[in-house]
Structure 1
Amino acid sequence: MYTTSDTSFPSKLKALRITHGKSQEALAKELGISRSCLANYETGNRQPDQETLIRIADIFNVLTDYLVDRTDFRNFDLTRSEMDELIQIKNKLNIYNDFLDLSSMDIEGRIAVIQFYNHINRIVKNEEQ
């Protein structure tokens, strides 16, 4: 069973379904499962098999890894270099979280703080030379 955090499969599935304006009945029909089965996925009482997980990802145009919380990237609309840059930023965020509480900021705010920090570091390094 899954936990019910905002990043858990049940939460993501329900959020995607609602965002796309689908009822449980409509999505269940599209997936070829019962509405109660889908409801159990959304409450974390059941897990979809791999085939169903792939169909869910296809319907919502997201990665299966996103659904099961193995990545924060929903899909591959990014180029490889953009994805690499985002991974570097995410790694920096994790480093900076140790001494600066960024947890309450949205991702844009976190990126702005890191860019500012890097800008200040460049200025300091230039003054030292």
Structure 2
Amino acid sequence: MLDQLIEFRKSRKLTIQNMADVLGIAKSTYASYETGYRQPPIDALIKIANFFNISLDTLVNRHYRSGIDLDQIKGGNYRFYIDGKALTKDELKAIVAFVKVKRSLS
């Protein structure tokens, strides 16, 4: 989780102080979350996940692999993310096309 906190913060070009301000805590408290000295309480994790618009599972680096066939998705309630941002349908189609071309060249 430590890596996730740092990665999401840096991806938005935020400082430790910025994140502390978002959470309404001291800079040293937030810094202790990133260093692993302290575990953030659940309410802080929820605020962080909401701020970055990600799930708690993503924040704590917990990924489920359900075997979804991207070719078979026809508008279900699935969302796919890269760098914390949801992919559009066109982006998802482009990814599938890219992989198919790459595999055909192998």
Report the TM-score range of the alignment, normalised by the length of the smaller protein. 0.5 to 0.7
> Is the contact made by 1:66 and 1:72 (CA closer than 8 Å) also made in structure 2?
no
Aligned to 2:99: 112
The one-letter amino acid paired with 1:46 is R
Aligned to 1:123: none
Structure 2 Cα separation of the partners of residues 52 and 33 of structure 1: 9
Residue 13 in 1 paired to residue 10 in 2?
Answer: no
Give the one of 3, 16, 27 matched to 2:19: 27
Aligned to 1:80: 77
Structure 2: tracts of 5 or more residues without a match: 66-74, 81-94
- State which structure, 1 or 2, has the greater radius of gyration over its C-alpha atoms: 1
Structure 2 Cα separation of the partners of residues 29 and 82 of structure 1: 29
Residue 49 in 1 paired to residue 36 in 2?
Answer: no
Structure 2 Cα separation of the partners of residues 16 and 30 of structure 1: 14
Q: TM-score, normalised by structure 1?
A: 0.50
**Offset of residue 116 of structure 1:** 4.1
Taking only the aligned residue pairs, the percentage that are identical comes to 32
Structure 1: tracts of 5 or more residues without a match: 1-8, 84-107, 118-129
Q: TM-score, normalised by structure 2?
A: 0.60
**Offset of residue 26 of structure 1:** 1.3
Q: What is the number of equivalent residue pairs in this alignment?
A: 78
Q: Which runs of 4+ in 1 moved over 4 A?
A: none
Structure 2 Cα separation of the partners of residues 29 and 57 of structure 1: 15
Give the one of 46, 59, 68 matched to 2:60: 68
Aligned-pair RMSD on alpha carbons?
2.9
Relative to its length, the structure with more helix (as a share) is 1
Structure 1 Cα separation of the partners of residues 29 and 3 of structure 2: 15
